[in-house]
Amino acid sequence: MTQSNSQKNMTAVERVFLGGVRKVLPTGEHAEFIAETCEKMGIPFGGGGNITISAEFSGARDMTYIEEARRLTDEKFKVKATKTDGGVNVSIIFGGMRALYYALCRLFRQISDGFILAGEFFDYPLFERRGYIEGFYGKPWSFDERASMLRLMSERGMNTYYYAPKDDEFHREKWDKLYPKSYFDEVIRIKQLADECFVDLHFCIAPGLSMKYSDEDCFTKLMAKFRQLYGAGIKNFGLLLDDIPENLQYAEDIEMFGGETVEAHIYLANKVYDALKSIDRGIKLTVCPLQYHGRGDEYFITKLGKGIEPDISLFWTGRNICSQELTVIEAARFIESTRRRPLYWDNFPVNDAEMINEMHLGYIDGREPELFKYSEGIISNCMEYCESSKIPLLTVADYLWDPLRYDAENSWKDALKTVVGEEHETFAYFADHLFTSCLKSENSRLMNDALGEIQTQLYTGNSEKALRVFSEYSGKLSKCVRFLKNSDDKLVGEMSRWVKKFLLCAETLELCRRFMAGEKELEKQIADKYDEYLSKPEVLANFSFNEAVEYILKM
C-alpha cells in the first residue's frame, strides 16, 4: 500500500482519466483554501475547470474519531468523486483543516498523474504523531532543504518535525546563548512554513554537556532560550539529555542530587515543564533521556518516567540505538515502567557515526503493524543528506499513515518515482545496492538474482544462456551509469561517494562479461579494477558480486 491507493470503507472506485485538461474549479465555503492549496502545489485552477471541488466541515463522530486507535482526530476525511460529462465533481467532508489539506494533497497527486478515482471513501492516519527529526551528527540542513522536506512530508501525511541537529552550535554547545538575529529570522520562516503545511514544529535544546543542574543562573539562561523561541510562535519544545556523561560533573550537583543523574534530570525536566506552562498552558514538552534504549524497564528509565510530569513525552529508540525491530511487547513494557507510551525516536535512515559509509536508501521495516495503539508515534531520524533522506522517509510516511496495509516494496518504488522522476526504474539499479542498514543486512537484490542465474547456467554447462543473462543485466547497468554520469540532480550529487564506487562495480562487471565472451586478455584489467573497487570504504554490492568476479577469473 502507498497513500495514493490507501482508502478505507471504500465503495466502487474507477479511474477517470482526465486527458489533456486538468484544471480545478474551487467552489463552496472553502473555495479560497482549495485555490491556495492548488497554487502551492502547482495545480491549475479557476474558471472553466473540469474538476469541481467543494468541501464541508463535519464535527460528527464518524469524522472526528478513529475507532482502531480509540482517539479523537482532526485528520479524518471523506471524499466522493463522481464522473460528469465534462470531467469530475469532487466533494470532501472533513473533520479539521489538516484533514482537508491531506484530502486535497491526495487528489492533486492523482490529478498530476492524469486521473481521479471516482467513488467514495474515508481515510485517516492510524499513528497520531508521524514525523521526522533533524537529529544527526553532521552538517545541518539549509533553509531551502528544510523547506523542501517540510512540503513533501506534509503532503504525504506527516504532521511533526523536530529540529535538533547535533552540529548546530546554538542547539548543543552554546545552548545558553540566544540565537543570533540572522539565524532566528530563519527559525521564524520555518515556523511559518510549518504552520502553512499543518506540521507541528518542535524546537529542541540540548544543555546536558555543560549545564549545572543546581545552578539557578544556568536555568535562567535555558529559559531565556525557550522564551526567545516562543517569541517566534513556537509552542512545542524538546529538552534533549542524550549522549552526555552518565555521571554528574559538578560537586554542587552531586551534593544536591545525591550523585544520582536521574534525580537531576527529573528535577530539570519538571522545572522546565512548570516554567513553560507558566508562559503558555498550550506548550508541549518532549524529553530525550540519558538512557534512550534498552528493555524499557531498567532503573534509570523507570525512575525518570515515574518522576516526570505525566504529559511530558519521552523519546525512546527501542531495544537498541538503531533497532531492527520495534514491537508491541516492548512498547507495553515501556508503558508499564514509565506510565506513558513511548514516542519513538527511530534511528532510521540516519547514517552518522559508525554508519558513515552506508547510504540508507531502503524502506522502513520491522515495525509491528499494531504499534500505533501502544505509542505516541514514530519520529524518524534523518541523514545529513536531505534529498536522499526523502526516499526512505516517504516509506515511513506510508507506514505511519496505515501500518495495517503497508506494502514496503510498493511504497519504496513509489518513493523512487516521487524523488527521482521518469528515470526511477533506471536509478533502481543503483539504489539496489543501498539497502544495508540496521534494518537489513541483505543488499543488491537485482544483482544477486542476475549473478545467481548466470552462475547456475555456467554450473550446468549452458554458457550461451549465461552470457545472454549477463548481457541483459549489463545493459541495464550501463543505462544506469549513463544516467548517473549525466545527471546534475542534487540527489545524485549527495551520493557521489557511492556513485563512484558503483561505477567501478559496473565497469568490473562489464569487463567480466567481455572476459566470458572470449576476451581472455582482460584478466589483469578485471583484477585491477576489482582491487580498486575493494579499496573504497563505501558499503555497496555484497557477497554475490565478490563471488561472481572471483569465479569468472578462475574460468
Rounded-to-integer distance, Cα 427 and Cα 224, Å? 48
3-state secondary structure at position 65? strand
C-alpha cell at 217: 543562573
For the chain, counts of helices (H) and of strands (E): 19, 16
81, with CB counted inside 10 A (0-12, 13-18, 19+), is: buried
Rounded-to-integer distance, Cα 315 and Cα 18, Å? 46
Residue 19 confidence (pLDDT): 79
Evaluate if residue 20 carries a pLDDT over 90.
no
Residue whose C-alpha cell is 522517509: 393
* Domain boundaries along the sequence of the chain: 3-123, 129-419, 445-553
Rounded-to-integer distance, Cα 346 and Cα 317, Å? 5
Rounded-to-integer distance, Cα 331 and Cα 268, Å? 25
Q: Decide if 161 contacts 200 (C-beta within 8 A).
A: yes
Evaluate if residue 541 carries a pLDDT over 90.
no
| Of 29-33, 46-50, 232-236, 349-353, minimum mean pLDDT range | 46-50
Residue 261 confidence (pLDDT): 98
Evaluate if residue 94 carries a pLDDT over 90.
yes
Residue 6 confidence (pLDDT): 64
CATH class of 3-123: alpha beta
Residue 3 confidence (pLDDT): 64
Residue 18 confidence (pLDDT): 86
Q: What is the DSSP letter of 374?
A: S
Rounded-to-integer distance, Cα 476 and Cα 483, Å? 11
C-beta atoms surrounding 19 within 10 Å: 10
Report the alpha-carbon angle 446-449-453, nearest 5: 145
What per-residue string of b and e applies to 400-432 under the rule 16 or more CB within 10 Å gives b? Answer: bbbbebbbbebbbbbbbbbbbeebbebbbbbbb
The model's confidence at residue 553, banded by pLDDT at 50, 70 and 90, is confident
543, with CB counted inside 10 A (0-12, 13-18, 19+), is: exposed
Residue 90 confidence (pLDDT): 97
Give the closest residue to 499 by CA, choosing from 418, 414, 413, 385. 385
C-alpha cell at 526: 578485471
Rounded-to-integer distance, Cα 436 and Cα 432, Å? 10
Rounded-to-integer distance, Cα 209 and Cα 229, Å? 21
**pLDDT tens digit sequence for 247-263:** 999 999 999 999 999 99
463-486 and 424-431 are packed helices; what angle lies between their axes, rounded to 10 degrees? 110
Residue 167 confidence (pLDDT): 92
The model's confidence at residue 21, banded by pLDDT at 50, 70 and 90, is confident
**pLDDT tens digit sequence for 331-381:** 999 999 999 999 999 999 999 999 999 999 999 999 999 999 999 999 999
Q: What is the DSSP letter of 420?
A: H
| Of 224-233, 473-482, 543-552, minimum mean pLDDT range | 543-552
When the pLDDT of each residue in the chain is averaged and rounded to a whole number, the result is 95
Rounded-to-integer distance, Cα 209 and Cα 74, Å? 39
Over residues 440-454, the mean pLDDT reads: 90
User: Which residues are known catalytic residues?
Assistant: 243
The model's confidence at residue 12, banded by pLDDT at 50, 70 and 90, is low
**More reliable by pLDDT, 262 or 5:** 262
Residue 4 confidence (pLDDT): 55
Those residues whose C-beta lies under 8 Å from the C-beta of residue 255, and which sit 6 or more positions away, are 214
Over residues 126-133, the mean pLDDT reads: 99
Residue 173 confidence (pLDDT): 95
* Residue 299: φ, ψ to 5°: -55, -55
Evaluate if residue 416 carries a pLDDT over 60.
yes
Q: How far apart are the first and last CA of the chain?
A: 45
Residue 1 confidence (pLDDT): 59
Give domain 129-419's CATH number out of 3.40.980.10, 3.20.20.80, 3.40.1260.20, 1.20.1440.230: 3.20.20.80
Per-residue 3-state assignment (H helix, E strand, C coil) for 447-510 = HHHHHHHHHHHHHCCCHHHHHHHHHHHHHHHHHHHHHHHHCCCHHHHHCHHHHHHHHHHHHHHH
Evaluate if residue 13 carries a pLDDT over 90.
no
Report the alpha-carbon angle 107-111-115, nearest 5: 105
**pLDDT tens digit sequence for 269-300:** 999 999 999 999 999 999 999 999 999 999 99
